A = this chain, B = another copy of it.
Amino acid sequence: MKSDIPVTSLQRLPVYLNYLKSLPSEGYISSGAIAHALDMGEVLVRKDLAFTAAQGRTRVGYLRKELIAALEDYLGCNDKKRAVIFGAGELGQALMSYGGFSNYGIEVIAAFDSDSAKIGTYVGGKPVYGIENVEEELGRLDAKLAVMCVPARFAQDVVDVTVKCGIKKILNFAPVLLRVPSGTIVRNMDVAANLAILSSMT
């Protein structure tokens, strides 16, 4: 079912979820009210929400707490998912300490780095392992998600190892294009490129 949702719709689901959570959870809300608040088209909102199990009622709309639950269910907020971070530099450490992942059922369990001064330390209560032990540790940790925070020039090599270890979902902060086999998905979070895109938007 999930394979049918366009990525653009999927990307909007957390936006709806954040908006609904900012309201009291009692009562009903219509797709029109959501569309108006978020400055989007109502048809689009209704189509997006139809990918979830939420059932709207004629004239009143969605029971707010049911819609929140349906969005959380669709986004897997209730399934525990383990993630590891590659690169315990400043960005990696910021993510190790970040508390917001649990809203989506994501648990960051460890980081890997090549710097012997960092290996063996803990950040935000999570261990930093040596990159040379990655195959052994990843087998034990059972992580399904990887977040790349390594410098651009190392990113492809690290990704090749994670792919070999069976990780199929990679969030990439390195400002470089990663080559992965089909079946592996990379989502790019290049901050500088996003700021440039924003700057070019009119």
Query: How many Å lie between the Cα of A11 and that of B200 in the bound state?
Result: 10
Interface of A is mostly: helix
Binds B, one of A59-67, A111-119, A131-139, A185-193: A185-193
What's the nearest-Cβ distance from chain B to residue A7, in Å? 7
- Within 8 Å of chain B (Cβ to Cβ): is A22? yes
The reply to whether B18 and A175 contact each other, CB–CB distance below 8 Å, is yes
A196 is contacted by which of B14, B144, B177 (Cβ under 8 Å)?
A: B14
Interface size on A, residues (CB 8 A): 62
Question: What residues on B are CB-neighbors of A18 within 8 Å?
Answer: 175-177, 190, 193
CB closest residue in chain B, given A182 = B39
CB closest residue in chain B, given A2 = B202
Query: How many Å lie between the Cα of A7 and that of B11 in the bound state?
Result: 14
Query: How many Å lie between the Cα of A81 and that of B166 in the bound state?
Result: 41
Binds B, one of A25-33, A99-107, A157-165: A99-107
The reply to whether A103 and B2 contact each other, CB–CB distance below 8 Å, is no
Query: How many Å lie between the Cα of A198 and that of B175 in the bound state?
Result: 18
Question: What residues on B are CB-neighbors of A69 within 8 Å?
Answer: none
A90 is contacted by which of B90, B191, B198 (Cβ under 8 Å)?
A: B90
The reply to whether A189 and B194 contact each other, CB–CB distance below 8 Å, is yes
Closest 7 CB pairs of A and B: A90-B94, A14-B193, A104-B196, A91-B94, A100-B192, A3-B202, A187-B198
**Which residues of A approach B to under 8 Å, CB–CB?**
2-3, 7-8, 10-11, 13-15, 18-19, 22, 38-39, 74-77, 81, 83, 89-91, 93-95, 97-98, 100-101, 103-106, 144-145, 147, 152, 169-171, 175-177, 182, 185, 187-202
